[in-house]
């Protein structure tokens, strides 16, 4: 348990941050709750080793050196962690430890380091498991040789299935790629790590990565799921947000002693999957005092009742069971089913044990609800609610009510009461929900509450759930890129449907530019077959025109198919399409259709029995609605700033002393026939230029450019200078792109932080810059949207 700076700060790490974080861990009570390690990630050293071959802390970032910081952290009763890499360079281009294991381990030990995160970039590997074992074992031996106890955290991203071999080498090992501060990333990591319970044991942990709780990309429900599932999976708890400024809600999640106790239980058992069906998962984690932690996890996008028979868990048989909700503290009893109505993306964790004299404890009652999408107006939508008594004993005078937002109408069309409900009996009620005309598209809460009496004293109790309803409205007039229209729902064989890039894998944003038979597209929808995407049209749209094809990422010979449905009628179909074949153009007549559905198929079994899912692309899909005609511009429109069609557009280097060069090139282009080849120095540089006249981008919201990387990838950022003082405004992200791939790097104007508290002004841009590193890099089409 502890802290790592990377998720919140990236390379922006320094002595002040680490010391102030140590102070904050103590002052907030998090240290007392168990968060003891303060871990420094990448970018802490100089770019070159010292004359003695040792790593050198950056004297600007760490004027006291790492030893001075370690000494300070130790005075707080805490421990210090450091970052290294099992390659020639770290992921950010600083010296790696491959071939320097003994001297680096001793250096860290001499400084008083207590924890090592050991990464996997620039590893010079042949890709075999034997190489991974050799490289990571070399550091294990080097750490042992120092005689200092140092926690060893392998970070090879799960590439060689370390859970199968790393227990004799490391204390913990990463089981997948880097986490992102978004729901699709969290969901995919849970799905991967939860299956690995058999490989964890006391002192040897599956590591699903550092936590994102508090960084702002997810909801409170999703962050509680993050903490809940990490705890039940017996994962390391490494805070990845700024503890110094964390909100009360963030501190309450991170500091929940009950959930921490489950994570840190001395048995050290990772919770095992009891059931996993349709996005609803139940995990069971035995605890040292005989209790079991039961996690009821809902990865779907709707409220769902998640449950499991007690007999399917490791709980011993009993007449009833005591359920303590570790987030609310509420205690209930259940006869033979452990269940809860769990919100979308939510998790309920119960600490469960047999309950004696159960009738003295309130029964567990779930309130489930399901509802179709809502179209504003008189038709409305049907809501179905289900109240179920899971407790031992009958509940009486059961009543259910539903509450919608102000201005909505809620009308019951079946009974809302029941005189009694025995154990496992339910009251189901149907309602008609209507949203007024003009209600904007979005998500709206509907609360369902059941009241009832229980026990011999006929005490009154309530149970409630919140359903998030979806209001849909038809697209406005115009021709628009379909990737800019929000779907009602989507399903995909792997990860999320990706707007304007291919579907690279499980994590969001892990794809490249859509590429079909060598043709690049900056607009489209990347999917992995089988997939389905649903849009509400409301009878207002006329046509969809789109290219389709199997992305060049797919290497299988399996065919894929693309079908466009208007309501339930197929109005355009591709037939079989294979990898390497030129894109095909589909034109679909959508006249009068309420719903648009895009479906791809194309999966099969490989010779080794594994499943192959083709990467299927809807490339440059354009939807025409209302009064729009073929001559109208496609929205959102883009304004080219630099095209590189006639040369380098006078691109230069911001920090000339650091080096780099630019030249026009035909090797990569997404607009026209030319782009720019950039040779970057070690550590990177800013490339761009001061403009001859100020650029007015009023009405635009973001800047973008397309990039193709070489073998080491690049980190893409965007900056502008504004006003007479040429104030520098820079994107705050370290947007790492994959090696040997292409993608679009985007920075919203709202994300550009300006020096001196100056406000970003898109109307007065004096210079535009892009940050690149990684050797030879190609860019094109710097533009505003």
18-27, 53-62, 124-133, 180-189: range with lowest mean pLDDT? 180-189
Which residues pair with residue 85 across a beta bridge?
Answer: 119
Q: What are phi and psi of 755, to 5 degrees?
A: -70, 150
Task: Give catalytic residue positions.
Answer: 119, 178
DSSP 97-164: -TT-HHHHHHHHHHHT--EEEEE-TT----S-HHHHHHHHHHHHHHHHHH-S--EEEE-STTTT-GGG
Residue tagged 């095909």 (tokens)? 584
In terms of DSSP bridges, do strands 595-601 and 531-536 run parallel, antiparallel, or are they unpaired? antiparallel
pLDDT greater than 70 at residue 601: yes
In this predicted structure, the answer to whether residue 449 has a pLDDT above a threshold of 90 is: yes
**What is the CA 656 to chain-centroid distance, rounded?**
37
Mean pLDDT in residue range 280-304: 97
pLDDT (0 to 100) of residue 273 = 98
Instruction: List domains and CATH numbers for the chain.
Output: 2-275 (3.20.20.70), 286-471 (2.60.40.10), 478-634 (2.60.120.1060), 639-784 (2.60.120.260)
Strand locations in 482-518 (E): 489-492, 498-499, 514-516
Q: What is the pLDDT of residue 422?
A: 97
CA distance 598 to 561: 11
Residues 357-392 have pLDDT tens digits of 999 999 999 999 999 999 999 989 999 999 999 999
> What pLDDT, on the 0 to 100 scale, is given for residue 773?
87
Whether the per-residue pLDDT at 547 is higher than 60: the answer is: yes
3-state secondary structure of 223: helix
Contact 640, 671 (CB under 8 A): yes
Q: How far apart are CA 302 and CA 487, in angstroms?
A: 15
Q: What is the mean pLDDT of residues 391-408?
A: 97
Give the model's pLDDT for residue 180. 86
pLDDT of the residue at 733: 56
pLDDT of residue 732: 54
The separation between CA 669 and the C-alpha centre of its own chain, rounded to angstroms, equals 30
pLDDT in tens, 716-730: 889 999 999 999 998
Neighbours of 639 (CB within 10 A): 12
pLDDT band at 734 (very low <50, low <70, confident <90, very high): low
DSSP 3-state of 430:
strand
Average pLDDT over residues 502-510: 83
* C-alpha to C-alpha distances, 698 to 102, 694, 701, 704, 761, nearest whole angstrom: 57, 12, 8, 16, 8
**727: closest CA among 697, 758, 750?**
758
- Confidence category of residue 740, pLDDT binned at 50, 70, 90: confident
For residue 608, name the pLDDT band (cuts at 50, 70, 90). Answer: low
pLDDT of 494 above 90: no
In whole angstroms, give the CA distance from residue 658 to residue 298. 50
Predicted confidence at residue 105, as pLDDT, reads 98
pLDDT band at 735 (very low <50, low <70, confident <90, very high): low
Task: Indicate the pLDDT class of residue 509, thresholds 50, 70 and 90.
Answer: confident
Q: At residue 606, does pLDDT exceed 80?
A: no
Please tell me the predicted confidence (pLDDT) of residue 713: 83
d(CA 771, CA 89): 19
Residue 49's CB is within 10 A of a number of other CB atoms, namely 15
Q: Please state, in angstroms and rounded to a whole number, the distance separating the CA atoms of residues 115 and 138.
A: 16
- Higher-pLDDT residue of 247 and 609 is 247
**Do β-strands 292-298 and 280-286 pair in parallel, antiparallel, or remain unpaired?**
antiparallel
* Sign of the alpha-carbon dihedral angle for 95, 100, 103, 106: positive
Q: What is the mean pLDDT of the chain?
A: 95
Residue 380 to residues 372, 428, 487, 517, 674: CA-CA distances in angstroms? 9, 20, 19, 46, 53
CA atoms within 13 A of residue 474's CA, in its CB half-sphere: 19
Burial of 185 (0-12, 13-18, 19+ CB in 10 A): buried
**Closest alpha carbon to 706 in 748, 664, 737:** 737
- Each residue of 211-225: b (16+ CB within 10 Å) or e? bbbbbeebeebbbbb
Contacts of 760 (CB under 8 A, 6+ apart): 722, 729, 749, 750, 752, 754
Reported as a single tens digit per residue, the pLDDT across 656-696 is 888 999 999 999 999 999 999 999 987 789 999 999 999 99
């Amino acid at each position: 348990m502890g802290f790592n700076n990377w998720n919140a700060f990236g390379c922006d790490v320094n002595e002040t941050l680490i010391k102030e974080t140590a102070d904050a861990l103590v002052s907030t009570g998090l240290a007392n709750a168990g968060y003891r390690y303060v871990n420094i990630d990448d970018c802490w050293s100089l770019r070159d080793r010292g004359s003695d071959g040792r790593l050198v802390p950056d004297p600007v970032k760490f004027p006291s050196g790492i030893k001075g910081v370690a000494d300070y952290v130790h005075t707080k009763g805490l421990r210090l962690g450091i970052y290294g890499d099992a390659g020639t360079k770290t992921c950010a281009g600083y010296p790696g430890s491959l071939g320097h294991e003994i001297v680096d381990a001793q250096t860290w030990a001499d400084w008083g380091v207590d924890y090592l995160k050991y990464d996997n970039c620039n590893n010079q590997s042949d890709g075999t498991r034997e190489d991974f074992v050799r490289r990571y074992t070399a550091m294990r031996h080097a750490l042992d040789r120092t005689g200092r106890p140092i926690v060893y955290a392998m970070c090879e991203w799960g590439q060689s299935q370390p859970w199968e071999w790393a227990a004799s080498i490391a204390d913990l090992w990463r089981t997948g790629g880097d986490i992102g501060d978004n729901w699709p990333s969290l969901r995919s990591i849970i799905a991967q790590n939860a299956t690995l319970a058999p490989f964890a044991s006391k002192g040897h942990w599956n590591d699903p990565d550092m936590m994102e709780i508090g960084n702002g990309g997810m909801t409170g429900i999703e962050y509680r799921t993050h903490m809940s599932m990490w705890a039940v999976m017996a994962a390391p708890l490494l805070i990845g947000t700024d503890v110094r400024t964390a909100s009360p809600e963030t501190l309450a999640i991170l500091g929940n002693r009950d959930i921490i106790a489950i994570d840190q239980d001395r048995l050290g058992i990772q919770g095992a999957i009891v059931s996993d069906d349709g996005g609803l998962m139940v995990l069971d984690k035995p605890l040292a005092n005989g209790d079991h932690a039961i996690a009821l996890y809902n990865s779907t996008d709707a409220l769902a009742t998640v449950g499991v028979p007690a007999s399917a868990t490791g709980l011993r048989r009993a007449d009833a069971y005591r359920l303590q909700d570790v987030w609310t503290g509420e205690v209930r009893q259940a006869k033979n089913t452990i269940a809860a109505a769990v919100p979308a993306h939510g998790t309920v964790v119960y600490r469960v044990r047999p309950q004696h004299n159960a009738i003295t404890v309130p029964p567990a009652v779930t309130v489930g609800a399901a509802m179709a999408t809502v179209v504003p107006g008189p038709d409305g939508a049907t809501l179905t609610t289900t109240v179920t008594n899971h407790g031992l004993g009958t509940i009486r005078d059961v009543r259910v009510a539903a509450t919608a937002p102000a201005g909505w109408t809620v009308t019951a069309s079946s009974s809302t009461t029941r005189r009694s409900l025995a154990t496992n009996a339910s009251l189901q009620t149907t309602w008609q929900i209507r949203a007024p005309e003009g209600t904007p598209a979005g998500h709206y809460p509907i609360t369902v509450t059941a009241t009832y009496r229980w026990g011999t004293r006929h005490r009154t109790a309530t149970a409630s759930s919140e359903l998030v309803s979806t209001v849909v409205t038809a697209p406005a007039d115009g021709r628009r890129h379909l990737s800019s229209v929000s779907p009602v729902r989507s399903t995909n064989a792997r990860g999320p449907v990706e707007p304007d890039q291919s579907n690279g894998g499980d994590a969001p944003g892990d794809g490249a530019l859509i590429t079909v038979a060598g043709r690049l597209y900056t607009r489209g929808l990347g999917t992995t077959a089988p997939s389905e995407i649903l849009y509400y049209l409301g009878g207002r749209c006329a046509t969809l025109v789109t290219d389709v094809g199997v992305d060049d990422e797919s290497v299988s010979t399996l065919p894929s198919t693309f079908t466009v449905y208007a309501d339930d009628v197929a109005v355009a179909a591709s037939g079989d399409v294979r990898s390497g074949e030129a894109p095909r153009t589909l034109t679909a007549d959508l006249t009068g259709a309420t719903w648009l559905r895009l479906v791809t198929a194309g999966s099969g079994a490989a010779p080794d029995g594994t499943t192959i899912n083709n990467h299927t692309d809807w490339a440059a899909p354009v939807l025409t609605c209302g009064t729009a005609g073929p001559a109208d511009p496609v929205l959102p429109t883009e304004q080219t700033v630099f095209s590189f069609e006639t040369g380098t557009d006078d691109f230069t280097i911001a920090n000339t002393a650091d080096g780099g060069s630019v030249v026009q090139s035909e090797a990569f282009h997404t607009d026209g026939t030319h782009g720019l080849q950039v040779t970057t120095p070690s550590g990177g540089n800013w490339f761009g230029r001061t403009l001859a006249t100020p650029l007015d981008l009023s009405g635009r919201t973001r800047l973008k450019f397309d990039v193709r990387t070489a073998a080491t990838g690049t980190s893409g950022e965007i900056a502008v200078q504004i006003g007479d003082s040429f104030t520098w405004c820079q994107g705050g992200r370290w947007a790492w792109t994959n090696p040997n791939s292409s993608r679009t790097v985007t920075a919203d104007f709202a994300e550009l932080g300006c020096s001196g508290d100056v406000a970003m002004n898109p109307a007065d841009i004096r210079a535009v810059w892009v940050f690149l590193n990684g050797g030879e890099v190609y860019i094109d089409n710097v533009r505003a949207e």
